[in-house]
Amino acid sequence: MATQSSSEPTDDQTTEPAATPAETPAAAQTDSTDAPVDEQPAAANSSPASTTDVVEPVAAPEAGTTSAAPAQPTVVFVQAPQPPKTRGARGVGALVALLGAALFSAAYALLVLLIAIIGSPSGIAPALQFLSSVTFYLPVVIFFLSYLLLIVVVNRGGWWAHVLGGFLVALVVWIGFVGAAIIAAGAFGASAAEVNSVVLQQLTNPLGFAAAIAAREVPIWVGGLVSKRGRTARARNAEARTAYEQELAEHRATLSANTAV
């Protein structure tokens, strides 16, 4: 009886089966393996070693087509040489015309004083008064304009052109003096007889002839300066033209060689 009571288990001694120790590591390993990739640390994705260059695939050429494009002809623009500018003597001529006007005024004033002294010693005072009047300065202005026009027309002409052109300049200056003297005498509005008398008096006025003589001589004095400049300009134009023609011939030869190739 004592043996049976000791061998039978009681309700208080009923025990549950214990979990095997091997199940815990397996479960932990399974949990760590099944964790989603998104839960990985962000530092692993931001590593420089993980970045790679993306190379797009190049499509292969279709059958029957060539991979290289046909060569296009190269167009080379070659600028043709420009013709040289023609040099002239007009720039120097304008300065010479100013110099000639100053010389004309001086020569004209000396002739006026000389005529006054020859006429009578008391004529110096009227002569000096005349030198300060418009009738004296108007021929000077007319001489400058007419001689400048002659220089522009003659340009690179020789000295002989100034000698012959001086006659035209003298005629224009004389006409200008006569017109200015008639206006200064107040002939306009007078009777016909008075107008004819004033016009005849001014046509034979020695001061008008003095202006014409001075206008005739000054182009002879200063015309050599303009003609010298004209000779220099002609020589330079000839040299520039020769160089231009040679350069143009070389340019045409180069174009012919390129066309032949």
Pairwise CA distance, residues 256 & 195, whole Å: 78
* Cβ(198)–Cβ(180) below 8 Å: no
Question: Would you say residue 117 lies in a domain?
Answer: yes
Query: Is residue 82 situated within a structural domain?
Result: no
Could you tell me the CA-to-CA distances from 247 to 96, 236, 255 in Å, in that order? 36, 16, 12
Instruction: Tell me how far apart the alpha carbons of residues 90 and 203 are, in angstroms, rounded to a whole number.
Output: 34
- Any domain includes 198: yes
Would you say 106 and 139 are in contact if contact means Cβ atoms under 8 Å apart? no
Instruction: List, for residues 50-96, the tens digit of each pLDDT value.
Output: 434 444 444 455 555 555 555 565 555 566 778 878 777 778 889 99
Tell me whether residue 212 is in a domain.
yes
Tally of structural domains, the chain: 1
| Residue 6 belongs to a domain | no
Residue 182 placed within a domain: yes
Residue 166 in any domain: the answer is yes
pLDDT, residue 100, reads: 95
Let me know if residue 96 belongs to a domain. yes
Spatial contact of 47 and 200, defined as CB atoms under 8 Å apart:
no
**pLDDT by residue (tens digit) across 102-131?**
999 999 999 999 999 887 777 788 888 989
Chain segment 30-47, per-residue pLDDT in tens: 444 444 434 444 434 444
Range of the domain at 219: 90-231
